A and B are shown apart, each in its own frame.
Chain A
Amino acid sequence: MANLTRRAFNIAAASTALAAMTARAYAQSDVTIVVNGSGGSLAEVLKKLFEDPFTEATGIKVRSTAPVSLPKLKAMVESGNVEWDLTELNGDDVVLATEAGWLEPIDYAIVDPKNELPEVAKLPTAMVRASYSTVIAFRTDRFPADKLPKTWSDFWDVEAFPGPRSLENSPKGNLEFALLADGVPLDQIYPIDVDRAFAKLDELKDHIPVWWDNGAQHVQLLVDAEVNMTSCWNGRITPLKDEGKPVDISWDGGALMLSYLGIPKGAKHPKEAMEFMKFRMDPVASAAFVKVIPYPGFVPGMMELLEPEFVATLPTAPANAEVQFPFNSEWWAKNLEEVQNRWNEWLLI
Chain B
Amino acid sequence: MIMRRPTLLLLLAPAVLLAGLLFVLPLFGVMRLSIFDESGFTLGPIAELVNSRVAVVVLERTFVLAASVTAICLILGYPAAYFMSGLKPKTRAYVTYLILLPFWISILIRTYTWIVILGREGIVNKGLGLLGVAPVQVLYTDLAVHIGMVQILLPIVIITCLAAMLDIEKDLMKAARSLGASRSQAFWKVFFPLSVSGAATGGLICFILSLGFFVTPALLGGRRSIIIANLIDLQVHQTLNWGFAAVLATALLAVTLTCLGLFWLVMRRRVEFTGAGLGR
Contacts and interface: CB of A to CB of B under 8 A. Distances in A.
B119 A348 contact: no
B139 interface: yes
Contacts of B234: 344
A345 interface: yes
Contact of A348 (B57, B121, B139, B241): B57
B119 A211 contact: no
Given A69-B237, A70-B240, A71-B237, A348 B120 contact: no
Given A74-B240, A211-B223, A226 B53 contact: no
Given A344-B54, A348-B54, A348-B58, A209 B239 contact: no
Contacts of A69: 237
B120 to A, nearest CB: 5
Interface in A63-82: 69-71, 74
B117 to A, nearest CB: 12
A224 B226 CA distance: 23
A345 B238 CA distance: 14
A16 interface: no
B42 interface: no
A164 B240 contact: no
A349 B240 contact: no
Given A164-B120, A226-B139, A340 B239 contact: yes
A309 interface: no
A209 B137 contact: yes
B140 interface: yes
Contacts, number: 54
B222 A209 contact: yes
Contacts of B226: 348
A164 B234 CA distance: 24
B224 interface: yes
Interface in B215-260: 218, 222-224, 226, 231, 234, 236-242
A242 interface: no
Nearest to A100: B240
Contacts of B241: 337
B237 A210 contact: no
Interface residues of A, number: 23
Interface in B119-174: 119-121, 137, 139-141
Contacts of A349: 53-54, 57
Given A209-B137, A224-B119, A347 B223 contact: yes
A211 B241 CA distance: 21
Contacts of B58: 348
Contacts of B121: 224-226
Contacts of A213: 218
A335 interface: no
Contacts of B223: 169, 208, 211, 347-348
Nearest to B236: A71
Nearest to A210: B140
A226 B120 contact: yes
Interface string A2-28: 000000000000000000000000000
Contacts of B57: 348-349
A151 interface: no
A71 B240 contact: yes
A210 B236 contact: no
A71 B236 CA distance: 7
Nearest to B116: A224
9 contacts: A71-B236, A71-B240, A209-B222, A210-B222, A224-B119, A225-B120, A226-B119, A226-B120, A345-B53
The 6 closest A-B pairs by CB, nearest first: A209-B140, A210-B140, A225-B121, A347-B223, A344-B54, A345-B54
Given A209-B139, A340-B239, A348-B58, 8 more contacts: A71-B236, A164-B137, A209-B141, A209-B222, A226-B139, A340-B238, A345-B53, A348-B226
